[in-house]
Amino acid sequence: MSFPRPEFMRMALGFARRGVGRTSPNPAVGAVLVRKGKVVGAGYHRAAGMPHAEIVALRDAGAAARGADLYVTLEPCVHTGRTGPCTGAIIAAGVKRVAAAMQDPNPLVSGKGFRVLRRAGIPVVRGLMEEEARSLNRPYCRWIVSGRPFVTLKLAVSVDGQIASASGDSRWISGEAARKMVHRMRSEADAVLIGGETFRRDAPLLTSRIRGGRNPKRVILTSGIAGVARNGRFLEAGGEVIVAAPRSVPRKEVERFRSLGIRVLLLPARKGRVEAGAFLDSLGREGITSLLAEGGGKTAGWLVEAGAVDRYVFFLSPLILGEGVRSIAGFAARRVKEGRRLMITRIARTGGDLMVVAEPSPAV
Bridge partners of residue 195, in order along the sequence: 221
Q: How many CB atoms lie within 10 A of CB 259?
A: 9
User: Read out DSSP for 254-273?
Assistant: HHHHHHTT-EEEEE-EETTE
Bridge partners of residue 313, in order along the sequence: 154, 357
Number of H helices, E strands in the chain: 12, 18
Do 47 and 16 meet the contact criterion of CB atoms below 8 Å apart? Answer: no
3-state secondary structure of 77: coil
Q: What is the 3-state secondary structure (H, E, C) of 102-124?
A: CCCCCCCCCCHHHHHHHHCCCCE
β pairing state of 311-317 and 353-360: antiparallel
| Cα R_g (the chain), whole angstroms | 23
Largest CA distance in the chain: 69
Residues 6+ apart with CB under 8 A from 81: none
Choose the catalytic residue: 54, 253, 286, 294: 54
C-alpha–C-alpha distance, residues 342 and 332, integer Å: 16
Do 43 and 57 meet the contact criterion of CB atoms below 8 Å apart? Answer: yes
Do 243 and 220 meet the contact criterion of CB atoms below 8 Å apart? Answer: yes
Q: Is 176 one of the annotated active-site residues of the chain?
A: no
Q: How many CB atoms lie within 10 A of CB 166?
A: 11
Bridge partners of residue 31, in order along the sequence: 43, 72
Q: How many CB atoms lie within 10 A of CB 28?
A: 27
C-alpha–C-alpha distance, residues 32 and 30, integer Å: 7
Do 313 and 339 meet the contact criterion of CB atoms below 8 Å apart? Answer: no
> Quick one: DSSP state of residue 337?
G
Residue positions annotated with a catalytic role: 54
